Amino acid sequence: MNAKYIFCFLIGLTLAASCSDDAKEKDDDNDPPLITGDPVETGHPNTDYEPAFVGQTRIGSVTTTTVWKKEIITSSLSSPWGVVSLPDGRLLVTQKGGTMRIVTLAGVVSAAITGIPAVNASGQGGLLGLCPDPAFASNRMVYWVFAQSITGGNITAVAKGKLSNDETTIEDADVIYQSNTPHSSTLHYGGRILFDESGNLIVSTGERSVLETRPLAQSVTSSLGKTIRITKDGDPAPGNPTFSGAGALPELYTIGHRNPQGLALHPVTGDVWLGEHGPQGGDELNRLEPGKNYGWPVITYGEEYSGATIGAGIQQQEGMEQPVYYWDPVVAPSGMTFYTGDHVPEWENNLFMTSLSLTHIVRLVIQNNKVVGEERLLASEGQRFRDITQGEDGALYAITDAGRLYRIEKE
d(CA 19, CA 86): 49
d(CA 69, CA 390): 15
Q: b vs e for 289-310, b when ≥16 Cβ sit within 10 Å of the residue's Cβ? A: eeebbbbbbbbbbbbeeeeeeb
Count of Cβ atoms closer than 10 Å to residue 105 Cβ: 18
**Backbone angle region of 382, left / alpha / beta, with phi > 0 → left and psi within -120 to 50 → alpha:** left
d(CA 390, CA 339): 7
d(CA 355, CA 247): 37
For residue 105, the Cα-to-chain-centroid distance in whole angstroms is 24
Q: Beta strands of 123-231 (E only): which ranges?
A: 127-132, 141-150, 153-163, 170-178, 193-195, 201-205, 226-230
> Active-site residues: which are they?
188
Torsion angles phi and psi, residue 130, rounded to 5: -150, 160
